[in-house]
């Protein structure tokens, strides 16, 4: 019996991860990419001047020991562990991450609408969650969901939130209490809560 021909579309981390696993199972795949280079968001390009430009962030994070070891081995153990410090850029403002806890300094009308929608959504009857967009609306209210995570999803994942399931969420997106949202709207000392710590 001949082995099946397996094709992996994309040569980013997910594509190479799938290929690695398939190869370990004795099923080496053929990989294709729409670009003329491999690596997806992990590709780098060196200019003639010597400057190295990373297409995407060369930052990896996981709590899974096997994946940590795989990452470390892939760079011959030459890596740094750093404390993450994230912020966001939105229409001339630089709110800290996660934005839902750091509304202070944003336009007053936006803050009022975000909090109003957040409160309204918390008191609304529960409705079915069919996709990531539904989850965002139910978790944060329309103004916040459409202004921040839905925009990020379209930019980063190249598809609207309606096209994504909620299986991958886990603890990634922090769902604050009303008190946390209010405190983050008026205080400069809102907590740093993020699923990536280092």
Residue 17 lies in domain = 7-74
Shared domain check, 163 and 107: yes
Q: Is 157 part of a structural domain of the chain?
A: yes
Q: Is 83 part of a structural domain of the chain?
A: no
Shared domain check, 168 and 121: yes
Quick one: pLDDT at residue 172?
72
Residue 98 corresponds to which tokens in the numbers above? 């996660």
Q: Is 84 part of a structural domain of the chain?
A: no
Shared domain check, 70 and 103: no
Shared domain check, 182 and 112: yes
Full DSSP string of 68-81: HHHHHHHTTT----
Quick one: pLDDT at residue 67?
83
Q: Is 2 part of a structural domain of the chain?
A: no
Q: Is 144 part of a structural domain of the chain?
A: yes
Q: Is 164 part of a structural domain of the chain?
A: yes
Shared domain check, 158 and 118: yes
Q: Is 196 part of a structural domain of the chain?
A: no
Q: Is 194 part of a structural domain of the chain?
A: no
Average pLDDT score over residue span 113-136: 94
Number of domains in the chain: 2
Looking only at the bridges linking them, the beta strands covering 52-54 and 44-46 are antiparallel
Quick: pLDDT tens for 29-86.
999 999 999 988 888 888 999 888 877 766 667 778 888 898 888 889 988 777 777 7
Quick one: pLDDT at residue 92?
93
What region, left, alpha or beta, does residue 6 occupy, with left being phi > 0 and alpha being psi -120 to 50 degrees? beta
Shared domain check, 121 and 66: no
Quick: pLDDT tens for 155-196.
888 899 999 999 877 657 788 899 999 999 998 887 777 666
Q: Is the dihedral of CA 159, 163, 166, 168 positive or negative?
A: negative
Shared domain check, 105 and 58: no
Full DSSP string of the chain: -PPPP-EEE--SHHHHHHHHHHHHTT-PPEEE-SSSSS-GGG-EEE-TTS-EEESS------S-HHHHHHHHHHTTT---------B--BTTB-PBSSGGG--TTS-HHHHHHHHHHHHHHHHSPP----SHHHHHHHHH-HHHHHHTHHHHHHHHHSS-GGG--STT-TT-S----HHHHHHHHH-TT-----S---
Residue 108 corresponds to which tokens in the numbers above? 């007053």
Shared domain check, 111 and 66: no
Quick one: pLDDT at residue 194?
67
Cα–Cα distance for residue pair 142/24, rounded to 1 Å:
45
Cα–Cα distance for residue pair 177/78, rounded to 1 Å:
40
Shared domain check, 70 and 131: no
Shared domain check, 125 and 50: no
Residue 133: pLDDT above 90?
yes
Higher per-residue confidence, 116 vs 66? 116
Cα–Cα distance for residue pair 184/170, rounded to 1 Å:
23
Shared domain check, 179 and 112: yes
Shared domain check, 58 and 14: yes
Average pLDDT score over residue span 119-136: 93
């Amino acid at each position: 019996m001949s082995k099946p021909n397996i094709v992996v579309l994309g040569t980013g981390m997910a594509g190479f991860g799938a290929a690695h696993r398939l190869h370990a199972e004795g099923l080496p795949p053929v990989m294709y990419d729409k670009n003329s280079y491999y690596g997806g968001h992990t590709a780098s390009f060196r200019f003639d001047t010597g400057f190295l430009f990373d297409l995407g962030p060369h930052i990896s994070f996981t709590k899974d020991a096997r994946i940590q070891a795989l990452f470390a081995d892939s760079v011959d153990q030459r890596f740094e562990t750093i404390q993450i410090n994230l912020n966001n850029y939105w229409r001339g403002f630089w709110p800290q991450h996660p934005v839902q806890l750091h509304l202070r300094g944003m336009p007053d009308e936006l803050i009022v609408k975000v909090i109003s929608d957040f409160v309204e959504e918390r008191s609304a009857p529960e409705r079915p969650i069919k996709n990531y967009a539904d989850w965002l609306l139910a978790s944060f209210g329309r103004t916040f969901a459409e202004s921040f995570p839905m925009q990020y999803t379209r930019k980063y994942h190249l598809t609207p939130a309606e096209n994504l399931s909620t299986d991958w969420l886990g603890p990634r997106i922090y769902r604050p209490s009303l008190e946390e949202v209010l405190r983050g709207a008026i205080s400069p000392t809102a907590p740093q809560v993020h699923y990536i710590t280092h």
